[in-house]
Structure 1
Amino acid sequence: MEESEAEAVLRRAASVLLGPPDTRFYERLPLVRRALLELPAIPARRALTRLCDHAATEPESDLRAHHARVFGARRRTLDVLDHTGGDARPRRRLRARISRIYADGGWYRAGSERPDHLAVLLEFAARGAPEHGERMLVRLRPGLERLRTALADYGTAYSGVLDAVCATLPAPERSDAPVGGADGRTARGRAVGGADAAVPAVPMQARRSEEAAAGPRAAERTRR
């Protein structure tokens, strides 16, 4: 599987798993898990499949209540710009800019979420305009890392989703560098560090996996 396909599967799966556990969530859950299992056995995949398994076995009412508790708190909101601090006016300008990027790419949000809602950003990066989507995720990395820490501190299974998301991005030391190089490719294969340990980025994991044989185009599965 191509690197870009693996990233699309991981980001699309993370987008679905961060959504509220409603009827549509449970309809898509088996498709997401099946698509993930077609990836190499990398840590990012394992983190997301663990949440799939947890969601499939947890009583629906308990999972809904847990999701509401986790992401209902301002310090754990999925609106990534809320984790960047500072004055509200720059955040409003950035949200307007993100909305313009969506519109320029022909991407229109059906729900009521803000443009910087993580599930929306991930969906755009997976299915809309991957290069623009990744640039936005890299730009918002400080907020992602703060949310990641907040979820880990809370002790929720959703923290693994942020681990997987951050593992698809360039290493933090390159976050301020241009996303595209001279050949249009993004720097890959370095460690993506967390608070306690480094999580290898997707391509390095895939190259080292013994299960890296190409399978069906799993990215197509998650688009249903």
Structure 2
Amino acid sequence: MNARAWQAQSLLLGYPDPVLLERLDLLTQAASTLETAAGAPLLRFIEHARNTPPTQLAADYVATFDQRKRCCLYLTYYAYGDTRNRGMALLKLKQTYAADGLILGDDELSDHLAVVLEYAAAMPARGLAVLNDHRAGLELLRLALHDMRSPWADVLESVSATLPPLRSMSEVAKLAAQGPPEEKVGTYR
């Protein structure tokens, strides 16, 4: 069941282009087969997508995910910021995907949540491990989307419903307070 949820979530977290909008009926059918905790939030978002003019939906997507660091869809950003360590994490993810036959295009970063969810849909056990590795960042993203009353909060609510509960909010609180790490190049300690 999670694989179906992750595939639907992956599509709904992509840029809302005409191809996505054409798939809303299919996504409604898929979301309707999920457990309520994962399916109901997706159905709410799909309804929002149906009732929002496409240009407005696209503008909202850009304003939400491309102009706010708190709402970053690139999961390694939360753990590594824009540091060299993030580059290594991206490479490791890309190698993990390649080992399982998922080859990314040059225009796709391996840590984009839609890509991670697509991988999880294809390789559920390994994909769940990747999602869990980034659980604090996912929770921080979910909370940020809720705080701004973004319709995409429903999609993140659905993602959270497919994951084990957080053991502690302390890592999320620390990440929220400190923000992503910064590069220490040229700094002496």
TM-score normalized with structure 1 length: 0.71
Match of 1:136, as an amino acid? V
**Aligned pair 1:21/2:20, yes or no?**
no
Q: What residue is the counterpart of 1:217 in the other structure?
A: none
Consecutive unaligned residues of structure 2, counting only runs of 5 or more, are 174-189
- The match for 1:78 among 57, 66, 73 is 73
Listed one character per residue, the Cα deviations across residues 29-85 of structure 1 (whole Å, up to 9, x for unaligned) are 211111111234x12211000000110111111101101100012221210111225
> Higher helix share goes to which structure?
2
Could you say if the C-alpha distance between residues 109 and 77 of structure 1 is closer, same or farther in structure 2, counting changes exceeding 3 Å? Answer: same
Matches of 1:87 and 1:68, distance apart in 2: 20
Listed one character per residue, the Cα deviations across residues 164-191 of structure 1 (whole Å, up to 9, x for unaligned) are 11111112229xxxxxxxxxxxxxxxxx
- The match for 1:106 among 101, 104, 129 is 101
Matches of 2:77 and 2:143, distance apart in 1: 14
Matches of 1:38 and 1:152, distance apart in 2: 25
Match of 2:52, as an amino acid? E
Q: What residue is the counterpart of 1:62 in the other structure?
A: 56
- Taking only aligned residues, the RMSD between alpha carbons, in angstroms, comes to 1.9
Matches of 1:103 and 1:92, distance apart in 2: 16
**Correspondence 1:176-187 to 2 at 5 A:** none
Match of 2:158, as an amino acid? A
Matches of 2:103 and 2:13, distance apart in 1: 19
Match of 1:32, as an amino acid? L
- The match for 2:45 among 42, 51, 66 is 51
Identity %: 37
Superposed structure 1 runs of 4+ greater than 6 Å apart? none
Aligned residues: 169
Which sits farther off after the overlay, 117-126 or 75-84? 75-84
Listed one character per residue, the Cα deviations across residues 104-131 of structure 1 (whole Å, up to 9, x for unaligned) are 000012462310000000000002x111
Match of 1:50, as an amino acid? R
Q: Is the 8 Å Cα contact of residues 83 and 147 (structure 1) preserved in structure 2?
A: no
Deviation at 1:142, TM superposition (A): 1.0
